[in-house]
Structure 1
Amino acid sequence: MDKWIELVKAKMSELKVTQEILAERLGMSQGGVGHWLTKRRQPGIDDMNRVLQALGMEFLEVALVIREPESSPDDEMPLSQKYNPYFRYPVSGWREPAEVRDGEQAVYGKARFELSDYHAQGAAFWLKVAGDAMTAPSGISIAEDMLILVDPAVSAEPGKLVIAQWPDSAEATFRKLIEEGGQRYLVPLNPTYPKVLYTEECRIIGVVVQATAKF
């Protein structure tokens, strides 16, 4: 709930949308919106998603993850611990992953989503890692079949893991962006693969903000 409020307030500030304007878009009273944003009342999942859509964030959706209680079933557990708001993002493919950003509807039609507690700055999407170019012998290592969450709105600075695409390639590539001697390179975490000079011809699709494995 706190993350949803933080996201909504940040977007309202960015768009200069007041509670009164937001309430008008939602067809409800300003006081009702105020109660949600001050946690005096808790909106349902449908209402949380209505607010996101009213602020132009159709690519985000709030979902619920139910945790199994660690204590016995007879013990009472606060709802805040049992039910936790997550965002869900579409899973894309490596061919033209920018379609997620430029045309979300096509990707959402595939009806495959994965959850994350990360609230994106842009139209984030998941990719499934292929190959072992980002599998390192030590330190940060992202193995094949892991899911990575990509946020197109995060600034691609040296040191970040990025998804990039060359104009003559149909598929994107997953590498670490580094800077050496005034030049930027796309570097694999696996030292058996070569690093590549980054030029203006190469387009950074997004920055990897999370990686997860499924068992």
Structure 2
Amino acid sequence: MDIAGRLRAKMADANLNETQLGKKSGVPQPTINRILSGESASPRMPTIAKLAKALRVSPEWLMYGNGDDAFDSNVEATIGPTRYYEYPEISWVQAGVACEAMDLFNVGDFEDVHPSDAWAGPNGFWLKVRGPSMTSSNGMSFSEGMIILVAPGSDVESGQYVVAKLIDTNEATFKQFIWDSGRAYLKPLNYSFPTVEMDDTWSIVGRVVDAKWPRSVL
């Protein structure tokens, strides 16, 4: 059994779905989904430690299958030092002009400040997910109220998640970027919403490099 199988089995034992485990552990639901799907076969040890604690299993067993799955509350996993970065949470209106006006922001402009171990560049920022367009009933999902970390100016590949904006109005949106047959599209994860073809009226603000529930709802 691989890490995905061990994680899935313990989630079933605890009667937890991805979203519930994310809230209980503090690990973003998209990260849990990547582990379960096999996309992330070697997650970071801090992530494993959080999941193991939430599921009351040994981190070593969950990660490697070593020993038994017994949980020892008197033993803390040695996960090594982790470097964290802090980025401001800004509004969607600010996101639309982020590339041009980021140097004008001051502390009073921020909604909040959140940490991440993902590097989003010197001008990275968080946004709170609005609406259900990126909520899926299966697989990857970003529920309303989650926060996403945007790395402005990052290179984007097909299948990655981005914040894009309409150039004329600076109205920003969060979607999956798809490149197909020489054309670019902004695809929602909720099939009730339409996929939009990107033309010269759109531009990419940045790539999403992290997602999680804010501390207030964990």
- TM-score (normalised: structure 2): 0.57
After superposition, the Cα gap between the structure-2 partners of 1:160 and 1:122, relative to the gap in structure 1 and judged at 3 Å, is farther
Question: Considering only aligned residues, what root-mean-square deviation do their CA atoms show, in Å?
Answer: 2.9
* SS of alignment partner, residue 109 of structure 1: helix
Matched with 1:135 is 135
State how far apart, in whole Å, the 2-side matches of 1:136 and 1:207 are.
20
Q: Which residue is equivalent to 1:85?
A: 83
2:94 equivalent among 72, 96, 119: 96
Higher mean Cα deviation, 196-205 or 113-122? 113-122
Q: 1:122 to 1:199 in 2, by over 3 A?
A: farther
Identity of aligned residues (%): 34
2:121 is aligned with 1:121? yes
- Equivalence for 1:185: 185
Once the two structures are TM-superposed, the CA of residue 122 in structure 1 deviates from its matched residue by 4.3
Q: Is the 8 A contact 1:134 1:142 kept in 2?
A: yes
User: Partner residue of 1:145?
Assistant: 145
Structure 1 position 93, deviation (Å):
0.7
CA contact (8 A) 1:154 1:206 kept: yes
**In structure 2, distance between residues paired with 1:156 and 1:129:** 20
* Aligned-residue offset at 1:179: 2.0
- Counterpart of 1:45 in structure 2 is none
- Residues 136 and 180 (structure 1), Cα distance of their counterparts in 2 relative to 1, 3 Å cut: same
Asked if the contact 1:99/1:106 (under 8 Å) is kept, the reply is no
- Match of 2:93, as an amino acid? R
CA distance in 2, matches of 1:130, 1:77: 36
CA, structure 1 residues 98+193, in 2 after alignment: closer, same or farther (shift >3 Å)?
closer
The higher relative CO (CA closer than 8 Å, separation ≥ 6) is in 2
Change in 2 beyond 3 A, CA 1:109/1:201 = same
Cα pair 1:90 1:107 within 8 Å, conserved: no
Distance of 1:103 and 1:158 partners within structure 2: 26
Q: List runs of 5+ in structure 1 lacking aligned partners.
A: 1-66
Displacement of 1:99 in angstroms is 4.4
Name stretches of at least 5 consecutive residues in structure 2 with no aligned partner.
1-48, 54-71
Which residue identity is paired with 2:102?
G
CA distance in 2 between counterparts of 1:99 and 1:169 reads: 10
Whole-angstrom distance in 1 between the partners of 2:191 and 2:92 = 22
Write the letter of the residue equivalent to 1:85. R
Larger Rg: 1
Residue 185 of structure 1 contacts residue 195 of structure 1 at CA under 8 Å; is this kept in 2?
yes
Counterpart residue number, 2:159: 159
Kindly tell me the number of residue pairs found equivalent between the two proteins. Answer: 145
Letter in 2 for 1:125: F
Who is 2:206 aligned against?
Answer: 206
More helix as a share of residues? 2
Structure 1 length normalisation: TM-score?
A: 0.58
